[in-house]
Amino acid sequence: MIYLYEAMGLVTLVLWLYCLFDAITTPDELCRNLPKVLWVIIVLLAPLVGSIIWLVAGRPQRRQAVTRPSAFPEYDRPGRFAATNPDDDEEFLRRCRERAEEQRRNAPKRQDDDQP
């Protein structure tokens, strides 16, 4: 029975530290229902209950990923076709074959040009 109380105390401590750190590091504008300072005080003063209330009512629903402008905006277009497997993209494979054939035909010419 003593181990159960120690385990519960350890779980409460870990939950409290997690929620306290989460409340402190959450940006002010993402805190729900109360200002960030009040959430930190609630979690500090009522470790178990405050932590549970923070998780239910104060923590942001979803963290929004910080997105930076893409270096290649054409890839961000909605509806853009992107083959997941190169074998599925017949047009790509055809262009690769044509380019390889062209390089094979031009190789002897380039070798003649490179020799002094």
**Domain span at 99:** 80-114
Please check whether residues 49 and 17 belong to one and the same domain.
yes
DSSP character at residue 78: T
* Position 103, amino acid: Q
Please check whether residues 50 and 92 belong to one and the same domain.
no
Q: Is residue 74 part of a domain?
A: no
For the chain, the distance separating the N- and C-terminal CA atoms, rounded to the nearest angstrom, is 91
Phi (first) and psi of residue 27, to 5 degrees: -60, 145
Confidence of residue 110 (pLDDT cuts 50, 70, 90): confident
- How far apart are the C-alpha atoms of 10 and 90, rounded to whole Å? 59
Name the domain count of the chain. 2
Q: Is residue 12 part of a domain?
A: yes
> Tens digits of per-residue pLDDT, 16-51?
999 999 999 999 888 889 999 999 999 999 989 999
Burial of 52 (0-12, 13-18, 19+ CB in 10 A): middle
Of 79 and 47, more confident:
47
Residue 9: pLDDT over 60: yes
Confidence of residue 61 (pLDDT cuts 50, 70, 90): confident
Please check whether residues 84 and 50 belong to one and the same domain.
no
Q: Is residue 8 part of a domain?
A: yes
